[in-house]
Amino acid sequence: MLYKSQIVSIFLISSFGMAACTPPTQVAQVTTRAEIPSTEHHNQPIEPTPSFYDEEYAEVEIGPFEDGKMWTLDNIPVDYMRDTHGVEADSAWIAKARLGALRLGSFCSASFVSEKGLVMTNHHCARDSITEVERDGESLLDNGFYAKDDSLERSVAGLYVEQLIQIDDVSEEVLNAAADVIGAGPQAEARRKRAEAIERRNNTRLAASDSTLRAEVVNLYSGGRYALYTYKKYADVRLVFAPELAVGYFGGDTDNFTYPRHTFDASFFRVWSESAPLNTPDYFRWEIDGASEGESVFVVGNPGSTSRLSTVSQLEYRRNTEYPAMLEILSDRIAVMEQYVENEAITADSFDVRNDLMTAMNMQKSYDGEYKGLLYGDVLSRTYSSEIYLRNRLAENDSLDQIYGKVWDDIKLIQKSKRASSAKAGAFYHFLNPAVSSHVLTRALYGYVYTLLRQRGAPPEQLKGIYDEGLAITSWPKALEKEIIERRIRDLSTYLGDSDPTMKRLLKGVTIEQLADSVAMYTALTDTAAFRVMLDDNYLASGDVTVVLISAIAPLYFTLDQELQALGDQEQLFVSRLAGAEFALNGDAAPPDATFTLRIADGIVSSYNQSGTIVPAFTTLEGAFELAETRSEETEWQLPERWKASSVDRSIPFNLVSTNDITGGNSGSPLLNADLEVVGLIFDGNLESLPNEFVYSDKQARAISVDSRAILALLENVYEADRIVAEIIQ
């Protein structure tokens, strides 16, 4: 999921990773190594300084789409679309794609699929909403939900969708704000402040005419371009249909990020307006015949983040330092949560721990796939070759080489500084990740910051943001909190050492286990209402047992965060220069890195070769029934009784794969044909797609969708959801 926080910055990048829903909004990056749609390969040798790289890399051919195909809706390569897919991507076609697509909350994608505001997205994007609307005695995750008429659709508190209305270029104003500023940090701050001012100015203007409109300034091309995105927000969103978790997550963690797949990862909501279903002309019609292998298809959604301008030294840092530490902590927390869910299933479900566990396991598998791509794949060789090519081109122009030629050396020096900081910073990886971190310690940190800032007279809007975020944190069972808090204190001990002043202050006269037990058993922060009272009064004066603990940890946390933020500002300045070099040579021919903003990605439905075996483009419903029979003793492959009793045609295509460029945040995106009709629903990528975080490839990497034909057949023949079927095929 994508998470944003008012109180942390750099640690969020290390705390949250790309999941099937989306990942954190990170620095927007881009590389434009070859102009589109040229397919020329570049292999011009260069002799880098022998000590520049930590190891030697083979030079390989690089193609025209190293940067991927996540096109912004205001910069679609029209000629390429026509020549490759036979699509006339004119203004009407682009507007239809833009207005039919939606952003679901701050974590997934979705789309309008009927004129009555029906919204399609994934089951895994709807899990929290499903438990949110659950009533006493129900178990909607296990049993599913279907509203047989509009009046039975259930409103989901806090859920919203956003529709992108307009895109305006504000690059000149933002960049000019830092033109005369000296220093990486001050320059970054000047740009941030000007972007915020543009947002405030436009939001004030929009609010005067329509309270449902809002503006957001988006950083693209590593600060090479800034765009003002105007959204229409729909806040009355109601659950219409969700299948059982058993089929929405069929195959469980074992099948996650794999293919072939047989998963009904779909759900439907509805947008209401003025106490009636929304009447909208902006929706995607349904193609009842689906798609065929080799057919051009398009994904319109909100990819969360990619890192395709990363240099070799940055990738070496992530491979050698960041990923191992993050994966180690994730693995430890997941083991604790798995044991708790197994031993305390009823209590775990009442606190929604099962959903958190699935999110954490998804994150772990995603990180692991990216990590292995750096360890064993050709990502570093391709990145190395791209650097060679770009440095060669710069060397041909003395003025450009003087401006940009040393940027790789500068970025590498930053990595050395980051490695030095990581000796302590690793203690805080995932500290505010709600899927695996202590909710008590998270609340305590919010209480600490909110109280101090209120005492110092912080602006009301800043205080409100922290207050609201803090209260949005849910509660966990005390027994689980004890285990997780103990693990966090052990992390601090491992990274800081027992002789560190912070550890001495924490463990004065007690063991780690005793401290964790005392905090979990006696804090009032396991209760939301009690936490609200502390925020309203004075958390630091509350006498809660967490106050001493967080007062010891927080200063170190924010000291390290400031240190990493300063390094991050310097790194961003150099990455912006690298993007500037790309711009100087190629302009905006390639798309920018993902920023959880609307993109359209082209591709084709395609099988692929895996170790000499052709993996088919489609699976069928029959495959799900066969798996349920052959693996009947395993809970991950259990089909609901209504499936077994149904007369659904098992030969119907169920899941399919395509070469579209996606990442976390694209979950719930519609898969569309050239006429922008629904032929599928994106829900995942295969394992081979995970290294696309760094360099795009469509050799084996595939996006996975639920086939439009299977969605119709299951709605009609298994769930008897005739009114939904009639609505989407009319």
Lowest mean pLDDT among 40-44, 186-190, 235-239, 557-561: 40-44
Asked if residues 31 and 70 have their Cβ atoms less than 8 Å apart, the reply is: no
Map tokens 């000296």 to a residue: 182
The answer, yes or no, to whether residue 6 has pLDDT greater than 90, is no
- The per-residue pLDDT for 104 is 98
The mean pLDDT of 425-450, rounded to a whole number, is 94
Does residue 397 lie in a domain region? Answer: yes
pLDDT at position 587 is 75
Residue 92 lies in a domain: no
**Residue 185: is its pLDDT beyond 80?**
no
Task: List 238's β-bridge partners, or say none.
Answer: 155, 270
Chain-wide mean pLDDT for the chain? 90
Range with the poorest average pLDDT among 12-26, 37-51, 202-216: 12-26
Task: Report pLDDT digits (tens) over 623-638.
Answer: 999 999 999 999 999 9
Rounded to an integer, what is the distance from CA 180 to the centroid of its chain? 35
pLDDT at 92 over 60: yes
* pLDDT at residue 156 in the model: 97
pLDDT range class, residue 188, cuts 50, 70, 90 = confident
* CB atoms near residue 47 (< 10 Å): 6
Segment 186-191 shows an average pLDDT of: 89
3-state secondary structure string, 260-273? Answer: CCCCCCCEEEEEEE
- Cβ distance 681 to 693 under 8 Å? no
Q: Is the model's pLDDT at 678 over the cut of 60? A: yes
Percent of the chain clearing pLDDT 90 (strictly above): 79
pLDDT tens for residues 537-574? 999 999 999 999 999 999 999 999 999 888 988 898 88
More confident residue, 453 or 403: 453
Q: Give me the pLDDT at residue 518, please.
A: 95
Residue 370's beta-bridge partner residues? none
State mean pLDDT over 246-255.
Answer: 95
- Domain span at residue 325 reads 309-570
pLDDT at position 706 over 50: yes
Q: C-alpha distances in angstroms, 105 versus 125, 200, 235, 459?
A: 10, 21, 10, 26
**DSSP-derived pairing of the beta strands 653-658 and 703-707:** antiparallel
Give burial (CB, 10 Å; 0-12/13-18/19+) of 587: exposed
Q: Which amino acid is at 468?
A: D
CA distance 23 to 78: 29
Is the pLDDT at 12 greater than 70? The verdict is: no
* Contact (CB, 8 A) for 561 and 8: yes
Cis bond upstream, residue 260 (ω within 30) = yes
Whose structure tokens read 């995607």?
A: 284
Burial of 582 (0-12, 13-18, 19+ CB in 10 A): buried
Instruction: Locate 434 and state its tokens.
Output: 């709600």
Q: What is the DSSP letter of 318?
A: I
Q: Specify if 24 maps to a domain.
A: no
**401 lies in a domain?**
yes
Backbone torsions φ then ψ of 154, nearest 5 degrees: -105, 125
Which residue would you say has higher pLDDT here, 586 or 96? 96
pLDDT tens-digit readout, 252-309: 999 999 999 999 999 999 999 999 999 999 999 999 999 999 999 999 999 999 999 8
pLDDT of residue 56: 81
Residue type, 56: E
pLDDT of res. 221? 87
Three-class DSSP category at 620: strand
Confidence at residue 64, expressed as pLDDT on a 0 to 100 scale: 84
Task: Name the token pair of 84.
Answer: 């490759």
544 within some domain: yes
Which among 618, 628, 615 is positioned nearest to 687, based on CA atoms? 615
Listed in sequence order, the residues at least 6 apart from 509 whose beta carbon sits closer than 8 Å to its beta carbon are none
Q: Is the pLDDT of residue 128 over 80?
A: yes
CB-based contact 308:66 (threshold 8 Å): yes
Most confident of 56-65, 321-330, 393-402: 321-330
Residue 288 within any structural domain of the chain? no
Is 5 among the domain residues?
A: no
Alpha helices in 587-649 (DSSP H): 621-630, 641-644
Please name the amino acid found at residue 161. V
Tell me: pLDDT of 432 over 50. Answer: yes
pLDDT of residue 423: 86
362 with 509: CB under 8 angstroms?
A: no
DSSP 325-374: HHHHHHHHHHHHHHHHHHH-HHHHHHTTHHHHHHHHHHHHHHHHHHHHHH
Q: Which pTM was predicted? A: 0.87
Higher pLDDT, 58 or 136: 136
For helices 353-376 and 123-132, give the axis angle rounded to 10 degrees: 160
DSSP tag of 322: I
Q: Tell me, what's the pLDDT at 224?
A: 81
pLDDT at 413 over 60: yes
Query: What's the pLDDT score for residue 616?
Result: 98
Would you say residue 338 lies in a domain?
yes
pLDDT value at residue 435: 92
What is the tally of structural domains in the chain? Answer: 1
Q: CA dist 328 to 325, 335, 437, Å?
A: 5, 11, 14
DSSP for residue 150? G
User: Could you tell me how far CA 153 lies from the centroid of its own chain?
Assistant: 28
Q: Tell me phi and psi for residue 240, to 5 degrees.
A: -110, -45
Residue 669 near residue 300 (C-beta atoms within 8 A):
yes
Q: Give the containing element (helix H, strand E) for 120.
A: strand 118-121
Task: Determine contact, residues 620/651, Cβ cutoff 8 Å.
Answer: yes
Kind plus residue range of the DSSP H or E element containing 226: strand 225-234
Q: What is the pLDDT of residues 451-481, one digit of tens each?
A: 999 999 999 989 999 999 999 999 999 999 9
Task: Supply the pLDDT for residue 52.
Answer: 60
Q: Does the pLDDT at position 229 exceed 60?
A: yes
Look at residue 3 in the predicted model and tell me its pLDDT: 26
How is residue 89 written in tokens? 């991507």
Contacts of 697 (CB under 8 A, 6+ apart): 691
Kindly state the percentage of the chain with pLDDT values over 70: 93
- Amino acid 668: pLDDT: 98
Residue 44, pLDDT > 70, answer no
CA-to-CA separations, 670 to 5, 230, 511, 676, in angstroms, rounded: 29, 21, 53, 9
Band of pLDDT at residue 583, cut at 50, 70 and 90: confident
Q: Using CA atoms, how far apart are residues 404 and 729, in angstroms rounded to an integer?
A: 55
Q: Is the dihedral of CA 217, 220, 226, 231 positive or negative?
A: negative
String of b and e for 646-665 (b: at least 16 CB within 10 Å)? beeeeebbbbbbbbbbbbbb
Which pLDDT band holds residue 15 (cuts at 50, 70, 90)? very low
Distance CA 108, CA 693 (A): 17
What pLDDT, on the 0 to 100 scale, is given for residue 33?
28
In this prediction, residue 7 carries a pLDDT of 47
Which residue has 């929009």 as its token pair? 206
Q: What pairing do the DSSP bridges indicate for beta strands 101-104 and 161-169?
A: antiparallel
The DSSP 8-state label assigned to residue 542 in this structure reads: S
φ/ψ of 610, rounded to 5, equals: -125, 105
Residues with Cβ within 8 Å of residue 424, at least 6 apart in sequence:
495, 496, 556, 560
CA distances from 612 to 259, 294, 609, 700 (A): 15, 20, 6, 12
Nearest to 38 by CA among 80, 6, 98: 80
Are the beta carbons of 425 and 14 closer than 8 angstroms? yes
DSSP character for 30? -
624 and 639 Cβ atoms separated by less than 8 Å: yes
The mean pLDDT value for 600-625 works out to 97
Q: What is the DSSP letter of 6?
A: S
Per-residue pLDDT averaged across 150-156, rounded? 97
Alpha-carbon gap, residue 108 to 103, rounded angstroms: 6
Per-residue pLDDT averaged across 133-152, rounded? 95
What is the arithmetic mean of pLDDT over 656-681?
Answer: 98
